[in-house]
């Protein structure tokens, strides 16, 4: 017999490439981005309840329970399925808020995957993807569970095979609001879409980076330091910056030279989401 799962991972992501290729009439930006899962993230634990109550049972600094995407995801799944079950949710937060690593979106995806399983509500992947998109543009990526080229507002996913890699991710001590970056008048919004069958380092880059670094000097400082050792980029709308390495040893050698007080971590790129088997 298999051992019942007691905790559910919510891995982070990196944007290996991000281009803003236009804007819809409703104000949403059209993107083209390569998304990579990493083996560093948050952890969620669940206790199924019989009284329909959804409750986060621990405090998370900077994330009130009422605004937590994890709680919102549970409530959305509950409404969509009509289940009378509830859940206590414990969230161990490692991914920094406003870091561009997809923490809230990944938490929401893990809740949908885990509670669909624990509640035995039986929704198929296609329906979970629809629910995920209601919560945020990155949520479907985590539900789908594969590295991908994402287009549109993030909902059009093309699986993308990526080679093994290790990443040094620096976490500047700032939180960057995504909405502020996308609303900035100097944001580049007219990149040409590129056709992609496979990703290469020459395609790396981030159209949001210039605005993020201008508005948040701490991000620019961390990026400048990392680029002394390797090509490096902002992920998402920031604040985190990263560089790719072929081996863990190479990544840790650079990390070992970091100035005192600089925060970050080394992570391995994943081929797929560790909960991918829960989405049918």
More reliable by pLDDT, 28 or 263:
263
By annotation, the residues acting in catalysis are 13, 138
Residue 54 near residue 86, CB atoms below 8 Å:
yes
Domain ranges of the chain: 1-280
Question: How high is the pLDDT of residue 4?
Answer: 61
What CATH number belongs to 1-280? 3.30.230.10
Question: How high is the pLDDT of residue 2?
Answer: 46
Task: Give per-residue burial for 29-62: e unless 16+ CB within 10 Å, then b.
Answer: bbbbbbbbbbebbbebbbeeeeeeebebeeebee
Q: How confident is the model at residue 1 (pLDDT cuts 50, 70, 90)?
A: very low
pLDDT mean over 218-242: 98
pLDDT in tens, 52-89: 999 999 999 999 999 999 999 999 999 999 999 999 99
* Omega before 172 within 30 of 0, i.e. cis: no
Q: What percent of the chain has pLDDT over 70?
A: 98
pLDDT at 192 over 80: yes
Question: How high is the pLDDT of residue 280?
Answer: 67
Residue 220 CA to residue 237 CA, distance in Å, equals 13
Residues in the chain: 280
pLDDT at 263 over 60: yes
Q: What integer best gives the mean pLDDT of the chain?
A: 95
pLDDT in tens, 152-166: 988 899 999 999 999
């Amino acid at each position: 017999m298999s051992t019942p799962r007691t905790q559910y991972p919510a891995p982070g992501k990196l944007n290996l490439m991000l281009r803003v290729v236009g804007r819809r009439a409703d104000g949403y930006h059209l993107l083209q981005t390569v998304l990579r899962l990493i083996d560093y993230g948050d952890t969620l634990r669940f206790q199924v309840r019989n009284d329909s109550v959804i409750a986060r049972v621990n405090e998370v600094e900077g994330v009130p329970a009422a605004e937590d995407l994890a709680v919102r995801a549970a409530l959305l799944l509950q409404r969509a399925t009509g289940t009378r079950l509830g859940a206590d949710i414990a969230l161990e937060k490692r991914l920094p808020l406003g870091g561009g690593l997809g923490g809230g979106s990944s938490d929401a995806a893990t809740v949908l995957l885990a509670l669909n399983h624990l509640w035995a509500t039986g929704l198929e992947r296609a329906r979970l993807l629809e629910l995920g998109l209601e919560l945020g543009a990155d949520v479907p990526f985590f539900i789908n569970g594969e590295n991908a080229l994402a287009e549109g507002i993030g909902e059009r996913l093309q699986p993308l095979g990526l080679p093994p890699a290790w990443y040094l991710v620096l976490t500047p001590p700032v939180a960057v609001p995504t909405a502020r970056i996308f609303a900035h008048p100097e944001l580049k919004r007219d990149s040409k879409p590129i056709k992609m069958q496979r990703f290469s380092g020459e395609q790396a880059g981030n159209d949001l980076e210039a605005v993020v670094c201008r508005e948040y000097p701490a991000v620019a400082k961390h990026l400048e330091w990392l680029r002394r050792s390797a090509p490096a980029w902002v992920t998402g709308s920031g604040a985190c910056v990263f560089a790719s390495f072929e081996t863990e040893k190479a990544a840790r050698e650079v990390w070992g030279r970091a100035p005192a007080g600089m925060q970050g971590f080394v992570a391995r790129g994943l081929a797929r989401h560790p909960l991918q088997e829960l989405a049918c």
